């Protein structure tokens, strides 16, 4: 283990968006504790993923509000995602952000040329093509590409940087769903996406809601080696100062019925941490009652869900 922790000198940590050292340490996580929690929660050994580091730091970029983890080399490997893929709920064929993006594309670029980054087996590509879009996907997993091609979908085994060079300035839209939060170099990822767009083209991004209930639940899925950044509407708003884009809109998914129990757990944990008196009002019984109520559709209308969606337009 590296006794110095991540990355040994907090003063040397730079924002993955701005490159500035104007960042603050939010929290430091002991690597042994992270490894233990992954085993307890999912039965997965992430020892090799953490590459001998003694600790992981969560930092916040002062200029953008983006929270990110360092060291950067603890981002998950293909082996981690192979293990996660064995969980029947991990990869979903239907996502709320798919519907949000399709509605935006229909309104702004009907019939347009769309590239999905990290498209997996091509579920969204298939839906987009059915909606009349000239959609294709790129993916770095050969297994996923083979599965997509077996269904006749235009999915390529191609790196984003190579795709950006090939299609520079030609695409009407680029999209990525539940991908950006896994990437250590978020600035590079976004620059490549924008480079592939024509002026006026749009970038649709779906990420976990960094201001949502999940961050209070203690799940290791919200941190390395799984997630490397936490996004909020403010962080997306800041991109207009760094890249040739403007933020069109952000939206948060409604709370899903199956997340009612986790929502109650996270909301209660947040209240108890911020308001000491809350521990007397909010306990196991009241949390369970809230979870039951939140399974009703009417009650969930005001609750913020797990996914943050952002639509940006290329300018200039």
- Which pLDDT score, from 0 to 100, does residue 298 have? 41
Local confidence band at 4 (pLDDT 50, 70, 90 cut-offs):
very low
Cα-Cα-Cα-Cα dihedral sign, residues 189, 193, 199, 204 = negative
Q: Is the pLDDT of residue 217 over 90?
A: no
**pTM score of the predicted model:** 0.85
Segments in 167-214 forming alpha helices (H) = 186-195
Local confidence band at 316 (pLDDT 50, 70, 90 cut-offs):
confident
CA distance 286 to 284: 6
How do 171-177 and 113-117 pair as beta strands?
A: parallel
Partnered with residue 202 across adjacent β-strands are 173, 313
Helices (H) and strands (E) in the chain — how many of each?
A: 12, 11
The per-residue pLDDT of the chain, averaged, comes to 87
Structure tokens at 101: 């993006």
DSSP annotation of 21 reads S
How do 171-177 and 197-208 pair as beta strands?
A: parallel
Q: Is the pLDDT of residue 300 over 50?
A: no
Over residues 187-210, the mean pLDDT reads: 97
How far from chain centre, in Å, is Cα 287?
Answer: 27
Where residue 111 falls (left for φ over 0; alpha for ψ -120 to 50; beta otherwise) is left
Q: Is the pLDDT of residue 280 over 80?
A: no
Q: Is the pLDDT of residue 200 over 90?
A: yes
Q: Is the pLDDT of residue 205 over 90?
A: yes
Over residues 211-228, the mean pLDDT reads: 78
Over residues 236-247, the mean pLDDT reads: 98
Local confidence band at 90 (pLDDT 50, 70, 90 cut-offs):
confident
Contact (CB, 8 A) for 61 and 68: yes
Question: Of residues 203 and 257, which shows the higher confidence score?
Answer: 203
Q: Where does the chain show beta strands of DSSP type E?
A: 23-30, 55-61, 67-70, 113-117, 134-139, 155-157, 171-177, 197-208, 229-230, 245-254, 304-314
42-79 per-residue burial string, b: 16 or more CB within 10 A, e: under 16? bebebeebbeebbbbbbbbbeebbbbbbbbbebbbeee
% of the chain at pLDDT higher than 90: 69
Pick the most confident of 80-89, 252-261, 277-286, 307-316: 307-316
Structure tokens at 165: 């060079």
Q: Is the pLDDT of residue 154 over 80?
A: yes
Q: Is the pLDDT of residue 1 over 50?
A: no
CB count in 10 Å sphere of residue 276: 8
Over residues 245-268, the mean pLDDT reads: 73
Question: Of residues 262 and 202, which shows the higher confidence score?
Answer: 202
In the block, tokens 């480079």 appear at 195
């Amino acid at each position: 283990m590296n006794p110095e922790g991540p990355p040994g000198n907090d003063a040397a940590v730079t924002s993955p968006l701005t490159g500035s050292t104007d960042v603050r340490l939010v929290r430091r996580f002991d690597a042994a504790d992270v490894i233990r929690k992954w085993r307890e929660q999912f039965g997965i050994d992430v020892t090799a993923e953490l590459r001998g580091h003694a600790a992981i730091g969560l930092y916040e970029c002062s200029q953008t509000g983006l929270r990110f983890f360092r060291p950067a080399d603890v981002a998950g490997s293909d082996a981690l995602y192979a293990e996660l893929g064995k969980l029947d709920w991990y990869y979903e064929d239907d996502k709320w952000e798919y519907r949000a993006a399709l509605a935006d594309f229909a309104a702004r670029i009907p019939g347009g040329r769309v590239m999905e980054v990290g498209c997996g087996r091509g579920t969204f590509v298939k839906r987009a093509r059915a909606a009349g879009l000239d959609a294709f996907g790129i993916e770095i997993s050969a297994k996923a590409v083979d599965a997509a091609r077996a269904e006749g979908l235009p999915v390529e085994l191609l790196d984003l940087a190579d795709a950006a060079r090939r299609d520079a300035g030609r695409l009407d839209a680029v999209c990525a769903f539940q991908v950006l939060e896994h990437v250590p170099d978020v600035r590079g990822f976004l620059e490549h996406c924008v480079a592939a767009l024509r002026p006026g083209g749009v970038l649709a991004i779906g990420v976990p809601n960094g201001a949502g209930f999940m961050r209070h639940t203690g799940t290791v899925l919200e941190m390395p080696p799984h997630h490397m950044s936490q996004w909020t509407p403010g962080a997306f708003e800041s991109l207009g100062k760094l890249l040739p884009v403007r933020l069109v809109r952000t939206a948060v998914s409604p709370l899903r019925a199956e997340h009612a129990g986790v929502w109650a757990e996270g909301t209660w944990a947040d209240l108890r941490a911020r308001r000491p008196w809350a521990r007397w009002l909010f306990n196991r019984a009241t949390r369970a009652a809230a979870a039951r109520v939140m399974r009703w559709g009417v009650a969930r209308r005001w609750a913020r869900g797990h996914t943050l969606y952002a639509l940006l337009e290329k300018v200039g």
